Chains A and B, each alone.
Chain A
Amino acid sequence: MTFWEKFAVIDPRWIFLGMAVLLTFPVLSPLGLAITIDQETTVPIYNWIENLNPGDIVFADVSFSGGSEGELGPQLQAWFRHCLQKGVKVVWVAQWNTGERLGYNMCVEVTEKLEEEGIHTEYGVDWVYVGWKAGGTTMWRNMQIDFWDACAGTDMLGNSFDDLPLMERVRKWDKETCKGIMLFTAGSPGVPTYTTYFHDYDIYLGDVAVQVPGNMNLLRSGQIKGILCGLPGAAQYEILLEKPGRAVKLMDAQSLGHLWIMVLVILGNIGFYVRRKSGTPVD
């Protein structure tokens, strides 16, 4: 086999090793590559929170688990930080029971960081984590009619809604109360719950990159108003907030990872054509 023909049959272990090196290196030593803000997908979400008044209530949904935490975690934390900085009140629900605790922990991290920066927030006043409630989409429909009854009057931590001042204003999940819905989703149940039963609300999406093409038609048709597209979306939001964090740091790694895939594909094709030209059987 000639030098070029070898590129058609690279051992997968070399591919994995190259990917590991290129993903690790920028995390240890960031390159600082530029990030462009997407005006159609990310900016509408930023503008939505920016244009709300302090005291307005928004609902957010955690529909992911640990596997998608790498992409949706930074999105959630950047968006939640923005809400708390603006004085927007957030009521959290969770369609996935596996992501319930994860979402809560990430929210607590944000409040602790804000506390260090001198921005005080209080659980029960600025945000409430209702968490996961059994019953699926029927439960979500009942929340629209009587939120307290549907959630059995308690949050994830077992606190009664009577003891949480914010919940006094959230008797029903209706358009009077809710100034928009932010959904962080990695699968099912997820978007269809809101596009079907909350279709007249302003719905915004924090999505894993792999699902963005499938959900793009919802953006085009106006069923959702904005999407944070995976890790780039989180990085863009952090830049809009002028608080670059984990997502911005990891974007360098993602760029190099994509570059490695492109290099491999080019080399693979070169090897493929050289083998075909020399008459060696190709797959």
Chain B
Amino acid sequence: MVLTLIFAIIRCGFELIEPMLSWELAPGQTVFSRLSFSITFMTVMGLLMGLINLTRLHVNTIRRKRENWVYSIWLLFVLYGYAIVGLGWGPNGTTFNWIYEAVIVPLDSTMFSMLAFFIASAAYRAFRARNIEASILLVVAFIVMLGNVSIGEMIWSSSGWLGGFKGIKDWILAVPNVAHARALAIGIFLGAYAATLRVFLGLDKKYLGGTD
């Protein structure tokens, strides 16, 4: 507990006394640049360990011919193949960029676009007027959806009474929504602060792998 407090105080010290970061350790090397390098280095080492774990898992799957072991071969081929292309020809190389633009970006967009389908099924299941709160949720959801799209404008124009669906949607976003967002932000800050203090004061030792 004493050690965590000492480290916390040192960390706070770094935040408060900022010029310390600009101290030059050697020509062209400040405390900040060395710290940044060490953080980047640790992140990359973490990635390397993840790579080792993934390889171990899938090599075991292939060796023991578990279910879907063929996909593990494909995974390892893509994993190491792309890494070799990047290391060999550099991140600005044509092939590396082409794979990024032709494969990764469309895959990313595809996964993100699944949200459109899933929100439809989630909304269908969740928006049932079982009680008053659910009914209010349903009505507000309708108003906000209609306020966002052209069809809402066609049904009730924003130049009409109350600004149409758009006007009501803007009010909902500007007043009740902002109130809840601020309240949640304060609550989250305090909760996170208390959670952080529990670790700093040594009350919570789960980072050591315990269950208490």
Contact = CB atoms under 8 A, between A and B. Distances in A.
Are A and B in direct contact (Cβ within 8 Å)?
yes
A20 to B, nearest CB: 7
Contact of B36 (A34, A135, A158, A254): A135
Given A135-B36, A269-B127, A269-B128, A68 B181 contact: no
A257 B92 contact: no
Interface in B112-170: 112-113, 116-117, 119-121, 123-125, 127-130, 138, 141-142, 145-146, 148-151, 153-154, 158, 166, 170
B148 A258 contact: yes
Interface residues of A, number: 55
A265 B128 CA distance: 7
Given A213-B173, A254-B149, A261-B123, A66 B32 contact: no
A66 B125 CA distance: 29
Interface string A202-229: 0000000100111011001000000000
A258 B151 contact: yes
Interface stretch (A9-17, A82-90, A160-168, A170-178): A9-17
B64 interface: no
B32 A101 contact: no
29 contacts: A15-B120, A16-B121, A33-B149, A33-B150, A33-B154, A34-B154, A35-B150, A35-B153, A38-B166, A38-B170, A69-B108, A70-B112, A134-B36, A209-B148, A212-B173, A214-B181, A217-B182, A220-B174, A251-B150, A256-B151, A258-B146, A258-B149, A258-B151, A264-B120, A265-B141, A265-B142, A268-B124, A269-B138, A272-B130
Enumerate the 5 nearest inter-chain pairs by beta-carbon distance, A residue then B residue, closest first. Answer: A66-B108, A33-B150, A67-B112, A66-B105, A255-B149
